[in-house]
Structure 1
């Protein structure tokens, strides 16, 4: 840390000596290793001066972001050099926040626009394209990184949290200090990936989502939608999406009912996978939300700045996490609540709705909480103390120069080294305390997963005059590769993007294939196969992760396909991805082939119509078929294709002499179906 401060002092000296420097407030600012934001508001017609940025409504401004993509230093003199401008365009901007509004250094919300005055999605500093952004002013945080740490940790354990990028900001010629560029929480495939609900979605499956709801203070001006009892008071809930002015009575009543169901089931200690709290909530998101907020001992968690979301047809989910300036041992306004030795959901103060404590008091939920905590804090994992310490040290180096300027401008970072040492000490003590108070996870440590495999994916079907809508033809094939029937109660697609929960008491027989589809009528018309069920929304034509989980979020199977190499080409050409053999690792592109979807309804060759001999084989393998053989493919057991032939014949001889001893797969596609056979090469 001494080295960090030495670097900062040397950098400040070099800035002071820089010839031609321009003074902004109390800081002589010329360049930064961080991106530089230059915001200039339009002229106020009443004063003839740049407009003051109000709390509401947003005012017009121009924004330049100076950023050297190669990582070299950014200079104010670069502001007129196009190659060094990550953004140069129009925005509308306002101040934001609640208690932070009292500070001279403001926080800002802003939207990007095109030259014609329409909202425009843009990618800023490598973040996915969107139009709504935040400049976080690090209010009440002398460490300058509590939000930055926790958002990054949340993403590191697999949950979406606002992406972050430190920057330095100048507004109307005034150096405003160190900020974090953040994504605003909203529905977007790269943010909260849920279906946007409209004012007409008031019945049926459309009424089920998507929603973003928050427990929060009412100082932002939005009305309270409903309140829920806490163990020491109450918690206010506010609509975030749809906005309070747009939400209908039916939508309000529906989403409220989901929280009431959670409250009732958690309060009754009902963890039944068919009708208990696991049937209502996505358990892993609730656990991860609590893990991050308890690790940081966030005093605002559960009661305020607490988001929830629900996709159409999906379960209620916790998050994204938000607002950590009062955490990691730091509090404000005369309070002292962020301690290492207390559960924040049971701290006697702002504990949030009752369901948080009730969930934790449930033995099954607490077991999974302890299991997850143990997983993410293990050596080498994101929440391990050593990993967090390394991340803090790297961040301190990143912001060292800017932190010195921040203190020079605002006087709020009296001793950064001391602050970061305190944060590290707090985290170490906090992890130890949770380890000693979390309990065992023996009961849920070795959960037996059913033998279900995602074996077919039709993500971008071809279109023709008979079936002109590609989205309506999508399907996911799931195979029970085991020798026993499987009860599907509680099983669901757990990754946002698609929503499907298997009906209570539904089953899949040993060896059976079932299809969940986007449109059951179209699927049955095309393939003459009865669909098992319909999922909501549609698969991406580019890439998507499909995750099949049990009721508590234990992953049964997971596949992430793409439409590019090395994945087989099944992108809009009348083919679908087919797992070459159910014994292969379906996370590998090499385990898949692209099959004509017209062959889907033909499950295999008729018994006795094809012969493969000898097996085991030494050199030559002969394949005889009563019907015409169209294609022959040979794969090794890793899924790598070794041979592809198109004989259009009833008989073919394959030379296995060139292969080493082992087991191989021969896939035969013919007029009457598809057959995959294992061949032993001696």
Structure 2
């Protein structure tokens, strides 16, 4: 009798647990545990059901021990182990995936007054809009995770992701990806947000987020574009479709149709061809991501574009890669993700004509092949050995949760076979693409001009006369070569600062130009006319400045920081000054902090004002200036400072006898600015 009671009790516990969705024995996990409890309906006294198109309020807790050890369900009331504990609103999201038993969700983190709560979830940058990706239709459970991570490793923004296990209203829901929603944000798609008043240039030029996609929901089709198969629908994401003005719609539509006409005409001119409208590297990387994965929905659906104010149209971020790498809606009779087709021209979801037209342009295809082959090199993200290593690491991360996921939903017949098939697909696909893309010899040895980013004023010191620090920012670019350089189509590639050199603009040999954040203020303060005015402002902490030509060939690259070992130019009244243009300006040691009160373009400085003798030297060097010297710095060829001294005279002597033989640089600061001289130690 006692045994029967025990058996019935066990059956009851099992049935009760299964009914409530916790039969998978989720008591602990190596992954974060997300617990969502919707508000209780006062009439039914039950948790409110999560539906589509109407968000319900809920509380969410994310259990994640800071030291990375196992997370326990019993940690849900231990504050140090909670990555988040607060209010959200949540809805079902997605298109066809809504019809599956396992639902995807979109949610926003909220404050108690229902305003947005920008927070960091699972080490991702602060925001309030998030997605719980249900990994729909993907028996490997890693396709989105793999694709987004590869895109970021290639240098692009793609949604950050973190695996987690989810419980909603006490029912276990399985393995999910908590990921960022695509939106304009400095840590996501780094573009300006437009308003309904931005209807004339330059404001009307950006920022935009536009997508080719299905017409689910209430968002209207903005326009369609010609295609070699089915015309794709284009939909506004930013500005909001309900708020976009006629002028804004016409402007961004015009950018797409200009791309279509110039690519069809095979026009690769920097001044009026497709490179003048688009950021070529982003289109190349977008194609590589979609083609490596053989994404049958790519180009036609879930295909995002974005454009910054005064900037170029860019492809991406990538989104929705569950039907990829040989996977498709097999139960519905589809089998389109093949190793031996181009998805932009397979006669089905080809997207707009410009994708195929770009591929058929010899120059674009050359750069596409070059980039593809670079990414396949040893240590690069698309190298097959690196891909396999990443896949194996990912499988290991989810292996524990995989068992519970399959017990809950029963949709993975044999996960090891799924992973083996994915690896085999990648191997075959890489070979096929490499053979079809062919040679890139015509664009493999591009000689870039001798342009150097020589000064950066990223956080100027404001004053009574100039109270806005942002208005005083500037960048100096110097032509260190012997010939005049045509700057047509050159631009800064990284989002955050925008400037495109106009057609037929030039810079003479051994001359410098300034780009300013506010040309009028720059002229008032420094008495120098800026060559141009950039859009947005330099970061006060860190920023990448990547100067490229119209096809993305890097001319110069600097990523500065406001922390050591970089010189102090962060609101101190100084700017960053390259010690010598022969040094590697990507190294902090190659820069000094120069005075912000006097700014003279080095091309205007008479270097004859300063004499150094004897040079070469083996012992004492004397530096003499027509102007009173205030400071002397001496650097070796690596940019390391070996002497720094203040002065209050017109001459200064340095003993080089203890220094090793080689080349040194000395910077001399006086009332007219900073200049650099080379000294040879014999």
Give me the TM-score of the superposition, normalised by structure 1.
0.96
CA RMSD, aligned part only? 1.5
Match of 1:423 in 2: 422
Kept after mapping to 2: 8 A contact 1:22/1:29? no
Please say if residues 22 and 28 of structure 1, whose CA atoms lie closer than 8 Å, have aligned partners that are also in contact: no
Q: For residue 67 of structure 2, what is the aligned residue in structure 1?
A: 70
Of residues 21-30 and 590-599 in structure 1, the stretch that sits farther from structure 2 once superposed is: 21-30
Q: Which residue is equivalent to 1:627?
A: 627
Please report how far the alpha carbon of residue 626 of structure 1 lies from its aligned counterpart in structure 2 after TM superposition: 2.8
| Contact kept? 1:97, 1:220, Cα under 8 Å | no
Distance 1:617 1:115 in 2: 72
- Aligned counterpart for 1:176 among listed residues 161, 173, 183: 173
Q: CA deviation at 1:44?
A: 1.9
Give the whole-Å Cα distance in 1 for the aligned partners of 2:390 and 2:27: 28
Is 2:146 aligned against 1:149? Answer: yes
Partner residue of 2:312 out of 298, 305, 315: 315
Q: Deviations over 1:508-543 (max 9, x none)?
A: 000010001111110011111111011111111111
1:79-117 deviation line (CA, Å, top 9, x unaligned): 000111011111111110000010111000000012332
Show the 5 A alignment for 1:533-612.
Answer: 533-601=532-600, 603=602, 606=606, 608-612=608-612
Partner of 1:208: 205
- Relative distance call for 1:338 and 1:606 in structure 2 (3 A) is closer
SS at the partner of 1:407? Answer: helix
Paired residues of 1:494 and 1:549 also in contact (CA < 8 A):
yes
Per-residue CA deviations over 1:457-507 (Å, capped at 9, x if unaligned) read 011111001111111111110000111110001101111011111010110
* 1:607/1:334 CA distance change after superposition, 3 Å: closer
The aligned residue for residue 494 of structure 1 is 493
Alpha-carbon shift at residue 29 of structure 1 (Å): 1.5
Tell me, yes or no, if the aligned pair for 1:606 and 1:672 is still in contact at 8 Å: no
Range with bigger deviation, 667-676 or 432-441 = 667-676
> Aligned partners of 2:476, 2:18: CA distance in 1, in Å?
64
> CA distance change for structure 1 residues 94 and 616 in 2, over 3 Å: closer, same or farther?
same
Write the deviation string for residues 571-620 of structure 1: whole angstroms up to 9, x where unpaired.
11221101010000000001001111222126465454332111111121
Tell me how far apart the structure 1 counterparts of residues 225 and 609 of structure 2 sit (CA, whole Å): 67
The match for 2:502 is: 503
Which 4+ residue blocks in structure 1 deviate beyond 6 angstroms?
Answer: 20-23
The counterpart of 1:261, out of the listed 258, 261, 267, is 258
Q: Secondary structure at the match of 1:177?
A: strand
Measure the CA separation in 1 of the matches of 2:215 and 2:662. Answer: 68
| Separation of aligned partners in 1, 2:97 and 2:672 | 70
* CA distance in 2: counterparts of 1:601 and 1:627, whole angstroms: 14
1:379, distance to aligned residue in structure 2 (A):
2.0
Distance 2:307 2:259 in 1: 13
Give the match's secondary structure for 2:202.
helix
1:323-375 Cα distance to aligned partner (Å, 9 max, x none):
11111101102111100000000111011000000000100000000000000
> What does the per-residue CA deviation read over 1:626-666, in whole Å, with 9 as the maximum and x for residues that have no partner?
32110011000111111111111122211112211111011
Shift of 1:68: 1.2
Structure 1: 5+ residue stretches without partners = 1-15
Aligned partners of 1:662 and 1:494: how far apart in 2? 36
2:600, 2:672 within 8 Å by CA — same for their partners in 1? no
Match in the other structure for 1:226: 223
Distance in structure 1 (CA, Å) of the matches to 2:415 and 2:96? 23
CA distance in 2, matches of 1:298, 1:337: 8
Name the residue aligned to 1:48. Answer: 45
CA distance in 1, matches of 2:281, 2:675: 39
Displacement of 1:21 after TM fit? Answer: 12
- Answer yes or no: is the 8 Å Cα contact 2:512–2:601 preserved in 1: no
Please tell me whether the aligned partners of residues 599 and 672 of structure 2 are also in contact (alpha carbons under 8 angstroms).
no
Q: Find the aligned partners of 1:478 and 1:585 in 2 and give their Cα distance.
A: 14
Q: Match of 2:433? A: 434
Q: Name the structure 1 match of 2:361.
A: 362
CA distance in 2 between counterparts of 1:298 and 1:100 reads 17
Q: Aligned pair count?
A: 665
Tell whether the 8 Å contact from 1:616 to 1:679 is kept in structure 2 after alignment: yes
The 5 A counterparts of 1:121-160 are 121-160=118-157
From the superposition, tell whether residues 628 and 112 of structure 1 become closer, same or farther in structure 2 (CA, over 3 Å): same
Q: 234-243 or 603-612: which moved more?
A: 603-612
- Structure 2 portions without partners, runs of 5+: 1-12
- How far apart in 2 are the matches of 1:525 and 1:231? 55
Q: Secondary structure at the match of 1:153?
A: helix
Q: Distance in 1 between matches of 2:123 and 2:64?
A: 11
Map of 1:38-437 to 2, 5 A cutoff? 38-332=35-329, 333-437=332-436
Report the Cα offset of residue 267 of structure 1: 0.9
Distance 2:608 2:196 in 1: 59
Distance in 2 separating the partners of 1:609 and 1:146:
64
What displacement does 1:560 show? 0.6
Q: Secondary structure at the match of 2:647?
A: coil
Which deviates more from structure 2 when the two are superposed, residues 576-585 or residues 41-50?
A: 41-50
CA distance in 2, matches of 1:206, 1:544: 23
> Corresponding residue for 1:644?
644
The residue correspondences of 1:422-501 to structure 2 (distance < 5 A) are 422-501=421-500
Closer, same or farther: CA 596–220 of 1 in aligned 2, 3 Å? same
